[in-house]
Amino acid sequence: MGVRSSPNTGMMGSFFDSLLEADFPAIGGLYPVNPKVDEINGVRCYKTLLDTPDPVDHVISQVPAAVVPELVDQCVAKKVRSIHFFTAGFSETGDEEMAGVEEAMIEKLRGAGIRAIGPNCMGLYVPSSRLAFMSGFPTEPGNVFLLSQSGANAGEIVHGLVSRGIRFSKAISYGNGADLRAHDFLDYAAADPDSEVVAAYIEGVQDGRAFFDALKRCARVKPVIILKGGRTQSGSLAAHSHTGSLAGSIEIFDAACRQAGAMRAETMDELHDLVVAASTNTRLVSGRGVALFGGGGGGFAVLSADAIDREGLTVPKMPRSAVEKMREYVPVAGSSVNNPIDAFPPEEHLEDMLRLVATAQGIDMMFMSPMTGWRRPPPGASKQDSKRDADLKQSALKQGAESPPDPEAAVKQMMENATKAAQQMSDLQNDTGTPVIGILRSGRMARMMGQSRTAMSEAAYKKGIGIYPSVARAARTVAQVLDWKAYRKGLPDIFSKSQSS
């Protein structure tokens, strides 16, 4: 592997550092190339690509665009296999001369059998090879494949989904897509045994027929979720400045996705949520009845019911027999055992109550708010039951309400709560067959909540439980999955098969 670098390129620092974090033995060696210095961060540096001692598989170009033709000649002479052009300033600028340079260099590379990624992109993230294009990407591999025309969005998708518990098989930022482009990556993803779910951020499709055919092949066998940048007039103009993309008709794009059986996301948040859905139990949901259990008091329950209803899902009332049974567990005042259920039973009755709700008629899924917040030791209270009740209700109010006396102990307790809550949701789902979906709202204790949220999401994800940041987003995701399943009728079932993650 060879690297050529120049201090003139803006993002070099961060990008180059992420390469230095790579596991050299795993990727077979890293060779910085720079005519002006002898070493970079303690790694020996070569004057030109031709001076590197060993065969080179993959070249990462960070030289200015003006120097690229010379580098391309060296790549041909060195017989490398692929090159990634981090370098920008080609066809995306709208400058005809630079578009011509881009075309010429790709032609020369193709003639030599060298494939190119970019230009104007961040390139490859391959955790199993310890290759990353941003600092902080995990080295642990996973089952999600990402292709993205934008490097910044690729970073946002990786970081955002990692904090939801997801890990990646490979991610590719491919910018202008002058050689390798969306259809090549879709074909790769379809065949790649490590990739079970495919996410894509696309600004423009250069070859509509090839793209649509590859999308059909891939979406047939794996869940594919596409976020299209430049859906509007303003966005499409911005996309043209960004990656030189011509957006084309959004109606045709949407219809093609639907026909292929792929899922469209309208926003970055939707892309994240749908990837979580496709790789967790959310993909198993088969009806519209939601039981909402706990989470934030009566007013929260009302707004949550509104959010669920707005997405075309329902909040079925509990059958009278279930209501009567639950009334044995919880007092009347300040609680509701109809659906939404805003009640905190004593701990010894909690499991029974959850199972009662999960198996009630008309309930197709549970929305639950796991408790991960810090719990203050309960104040002096006289009876065991009311103490527990006060503690639980208080804990719900307290989540995010103030700083605990000992931050370290609080973090430890939250991590334990996260593992326990994930187990509880998983057990409930296994026992009842009803998908249990977690709602993890952001709180005021941002300092600790960050760690606690990630811990909770990761613990749940490992057990196949999807976690969403609000009832509204969970409801929207479920509605989209149901719609997706409906228009895939006749295609292979990609939703019920197990996902190893």
Indicate the residue among 6 and 501 with the shorter CB distance to a copy of itself. Answer: 6
Residue positions counted in the chain: 501
Closest distance to a copy of itself from the beta carbon of 122 (Å): 10
Closest distance to a copy of itself from the beta carbon of 9 (Å): 8
How many other CB atoms sit within 10 Å of the CB of residue 219? Answer: 25
Indicate the residue among 22 and 268 with the shorter CB distance to a copy of itself. Answer: 268
CB 201 within 8 A of CB 149: yes
For the CA atoms of 63, 65, 70, 72, the dihedral, rounded to the nearest 10 degrees, stands at 90
Sheet arrangement for strand 31-33: 31-33, 2-4, 58-61, 82-85, 115-117
Indicate the residue among 85 and 188 with the shorter CB distance to a copy of itself. Answer: 85
CB 495 within 8 A of CB 388: no
Nearest to 370 by CA among 329, 333, 425: 425
Closest distance to a copy of itself from the beta carbon of 191 (Å): 27
Indicate the residue among 288 and 485 with the shorter CB distance to a copy of itself. Answer: 288
Closest distance to a copy of itself from the beta carbon of 280 (Å): 21
Indicate the residue among 383 and 489 with the shorter CB distance to a copy of itself. Answer: 383
How many other CB atoms sit within 10 Å of the CB of residue 88? Answer: 21
Closest distance to a copy of itself from the beta carbon of 143 (Å): 21
Closest distance to a copy of itself from the beta carbon of 75 (Å): 20
Closest distance to a copy of itself from the beta carbon of 267 (Å): 7
Tokens of 486: 């409906």
Asked whether the bond before 119 is cis by omega within 30 degrees of 0, the reply is: yes
State residue 120 phi and psi, 5-degree precision. Answer: 70, 55
Query: How far is it, in rounded angstroms, from Cα 228 to Cα 60?
Result: 27
Indicate the residue among 176 and 424 with the shorter CB distance to a copy of itself. Answer: 176
Closest distance to a copy of itself from the beta carbon of 193 (Å): 29
Tokens of 341: 């259920």
CB 371 within 8 A of CB 398: no
Which bin fits 295, alpha (ψ -120 to 50), beta or left (φ > 0)?
left
Indicate the residue among 56 and 239 with the shorter CB distance to a copy of itself. Answer: 239
Which bin fits 144, alpha (ψ -120 to 50), beta or left (φ > 0)?
beta
Tokens of 11: 């993002």
Closest distance to a copy of itself from the beta carbon of 497 (Å): 32
* β-strand partners of 467: 438
Query: How far is it, in rounded angstroms, from Cα 280 to Cα 43?
Result: 42
Q: Which ranges in 330-402 belong to alpha helices (H)?
A: 347-358, 384-398
Indicate the residue among 356 and 494 with the shorter CB distance to a copy of itself. Answer: 356
Closest distance to a copy of itself from the beta carbon of 26 (Å): 21
Indicate the residue among 89 and 141 with the shorter CB distance to a copy of itself. Answer: 89
Indicate the residue among 196 and 342 with the shorter CB distance to a copy of itself. Answer: 342
Residue with tokens 């991610």: 171
